[in-house]
Amino acid sequence: MAAALGARLLRAGAGEPSDGQRLFDTQCRACHDGNDARAPSLAAMRGRSPQAIVDALTSGSMRYQGLHLSGGERRAVAEFVAGRRVRGTVAGATIGRCGKPSPLDDPFAGPSWNGWSPTIANTHFQNAEQAGLTGDRVPQLRLKWAFGFPDATSAWAQPTIAGGRLFVGSQNGIVYSLDAKSGCVAWTFVARAGVRTSIVIGERSADRSANASRYRGRSGYTAYFADQNGYVYAVDAATGREIWRRKADEHPLVRLTGSPVLFEGRLYVPLSSYEEGGKPPGYACCTFRGGVIALDARTGNTVWRAYTIAEPPALIRSYADGTEVWGPSGGAVWSAPTIDPGRGALYVGVGNTYSGAPQPATDGVAAIDLKTGAVRWARQMYPGERDVFGCTPGEVNCGARSGPDFDFGASPALVRLSNGRELIVAGQKSGVAYALDPDRKGEQVWRYRAGGGSGLGGIQWGIAADTERAYFPVADIYSDMPGGLHAVALADGARAWYMPPPAPICGRAGRSCSGAQFSAVTVIPGIVFSPSNDGAVRAYSTANGEIVWTFDTNRDFATLNGVRARGGSMNGPAPVVAGGMVYVSSGYGTFGLRPGNVLLAFAP
């Protein structure tokens, strides 16, 4: 998009006219008024509601095309096609704004959950002081407020708590700063595409200020995040004003799903793409290489770039119809990097090979040098044929049969045992969890089978660990009994307990209503919180797995900002616990799961 057009479309979110026709002409008309028999014509779509068109571009049949558009752009297209306006505003903040927002407190002085995990070790453990919540009070948790995300079918972002504020992104590209206690809106920011990553807050000192002239010489705090169009942002955490933005990768199908991590002046951003399942017809597959990019947090300039596939893609063969096959490709990094300051390394879980010969770092865990970006070692856990999720055998980038799609989609956790030994604990979509030795190039210490695994199975988005045990949620949506939570001793990988999933709380069991536990989990002393595909968030005792609290999100909610909101399937973000409150995102309207668009806040 040209900058001027983008600016007009962003203003359209505030109610000004937008150029929906021009967007349709450049992005949509070739198929919808062209020779593609699968795409309805503009005339045929006139009878649809504008919200239905927004939903199609958000999570429906056109979601991959819509992911490159901002919320304002999707609205502009929908309103042009339908000839009617979408209800409400793109930001969903007409009401519910703070009358006089409280100043942003020191993010490092009070209770916080800063980024994907409370610490850079990515254990998803919140200590008692920061949690402000004890296990005996968890059964007393009650809903305090609800916040609705407009133009969204998935509440896919995990909130950050810092300085008395809650920071969270949304599917339509709006980033919010809310009062953490009351939920009122302090500011909003419009990104170029949906924001799924967590937001990380860092200090901006006077002598190391960001490069934007209006910030030179000023102290304060910066919020960092990334979007689904490949852009990384730095904004003022107190006001939401942009400081810088950078395109992390120029690949046309790049997406940034894993949360960036801030450490000692550098922002580490994981790279993934739509190339596995979202490539358009006739696309020359495949040319994306996953990895991590290190940016200077002050300026956004690139310090180094590390690839999980060393060899750049090359043309493998061409067909008579003009189709091309490129490779090797793949190795996406879907989750937040884990920082190991003592060893000067970061660890990432790596996805599968898309095309070409299977690569040695894919479907594994890799260690990257913090200073240089050199890959120190990679430990592959599923060597063999490439395994592209959703691939139909016979397609140019598919093997003779469908692969199992055994990515490492969850962040590895760096854990410290009571004897001082450190291990890397990682869960795979195969359903197997591993403990690796960081001092022996990832040599396996123990393994534990938690589930059967599949493309939407095994361990999906995240694990948790306290000082004694690791906790592994299982999805396995295609199995006869999806779901379940495992507690495993860190010392030797022995099972401490297993809690099978209760009967689905959403009603009749099926793929969209099952006990699959896709989401990352969170542990505080005495309690593990785990969201479920059945729309419930549950609290389990760390002692024996007993469920001590359940909240059913499968209903409509009255929201602080007046947006119609409902809970649904949960897939991705973990509950966040800080300052005596628990925050939960509900709704995931992709892969046949149940949509939703609500953020819920609980307190005793």
- Enclosing H/E stretch for 130: helix 128-131
Q: Is residue 295 part of a domain?
A: yes
Same domain, 442 and 355: yes
Mean pLDDT over residues 452-477, rounded?
A: 94
Domains held by the chain: number: 2
Domain C-terminal end among 82, 110, 141: 82
Same domain, 189 and 243: yes
Residue 213 pLDDT grade (very low, low, confident, very high; cuts 50, 70, 90): very low
Mean pLDDT over residues 240-258, rounded?
A: 96
Residue 40 pLDDT grade (very low, low, confident, very high; cuts 50, 70, 90): confident
Residue 47 has pLDDT above 80, yes or no: no
Retrieve residue 277's tokens: 């399942």
Same domain, 395 and 309: yes
pLDDT one-digit tens code per residue, 113-137: 999 999 999 999 999 999 999 999 9
Mean pLDDT over residues 230-240, rounded?
A: 97
The whole-angstrom separation of Cα 373 and Cα 367 is 9
Residue 216 pLDDT grade (very low, low, confident, very high; cuts 50, 70, 90): very low
- Residues 78 and 51 sit within 8 Å (Cβ to Cβ): yes
In terms of phi and psi (left: phi > 0; alpha: psi -120 to 50; beta: otherwise), the region of 92 is: left
Domain C-terminal end among 55, 82, 109: 82
Q: Which CATH number characterizes residue 24's domain?
A: 1.10.760
Residue 12 has pLDDT above 60, yes or no: no
Residue 454 is predicted with a pLDDT of 81
Same domain, 42 and 141: no
Same domain, 221 and 78: no
By mean pLDDT, which of 102-116, 376-390, 534-548 is the weakest?
376-390
In terms of phi and psi (left: phi > 0; alpha: psi -120 to 50; beta: otherwise), the region of 161 is: beta
pLDDT one-digit tens code per residue, 387-414: 565 566 666 656 666 667 889 999 999 9
Same domain, 492 and 437: yes
Q: Is residue 105 part of a domain?
A: no
The whole-angstrom separation of Cα 209 and Cα 201 is 14
Q: Is residue 121 part of a domain?
A: no
Geometric angle at alpha carbon 324, from 323 and 330, rounded to 5°: 125
Mean pLDDT over residues 243-268, rounded?
A: 96
Domain C-terminal end among 47, 82, 117: 82
- Enclosing H/E stretch for 295: strand 291-296
Same domain, 15 and 152: no
Which position has the higher pLDDT, 393 or 582?
582
The whole-angstrom separation of Cα 47 and Cα 154 is 25
Same domain, 175 and 230: yes
Geometric angle at alpha carbon 86, from 82 and 91, rounded to 5°: 145
The whole-angstrom separation of Cα 360 and Cα 381 is 10
Same domain, 143 and 38: no
Q: Cα–Cα distances in Å, from 203 out to 186, 224, 569?
A: 19, 11, 36
Residue 176 has pLDDT above 70, yes or no: yes
Q: Is residue 559 part of a domain?
A: yes
- DSSP line for 183-215: --EEEEEE-SS---S--EEEEE-GGG--SSGGG
Mean pLDDT over residues 148-164, rounded?
A: 96
- Residues 556 and 568 sit within 8 Å (Cβ to Cβ): no
- For residue 321, the 8-state DSSP code is T
Residue 397 is predicted with a pLDDT of 57
Same domain, 76 and 197: no
Mean pLDDT over residues 249-271, rounded?
A: 96
Q: What is the edge-to-edge ordering of all strands in the sheet holding 185-190?
A: 160-162, 165-168, 174-179, 185-190
Q: Which CATH number characterizes residue 343's domain?
A: 2.140.10.10
Same domain, 453 and 514: yes
Residue 73 pLDDT grade (very low, low, confident, very high; cuts 50, 70, 90): confident
Average pLDDT, the chain: 88
Q: Is residue 90 part of a domain?
A: no
Same domain, 227 and 353: yes
In sequence order, what are the residues at sequence separation of 6 or more whose Cβ sits closer than 8 angstroms to the Cβ of residue 554? 505, 506, 534, 535, 536, 566, 567, 568, 594
Residue 71 pLDDT grade (very low, low, confident, very high; cuts 50, 70, 90): confident
The whole-angstrom separation of Cα 437 and Cα 435 is 7
Q: Domain range holding 28?
A: 3-82
Q: Is residue 115 part of a domain?
A: no
How many residues in the chain?
A: 604
- Residues 83 and 46 sit within 8 Å (Cβ to Cβ): yes
By mean pLDDT, which of 41-45, 89-93, 185-189, 416-420 is the weakest?
41-45
Q: Is residue 93 part of a domain?
A: no
Q: Is residue 565 part of a domain?
A: yes
Residue 509 has pLDDT above 70, yes or no: no
By mean pLDDT, which of 106-120, 153-167, 424-438, 447-461 is the weakest?
447-461
Q: Name residue 137's amino acid.
A: R
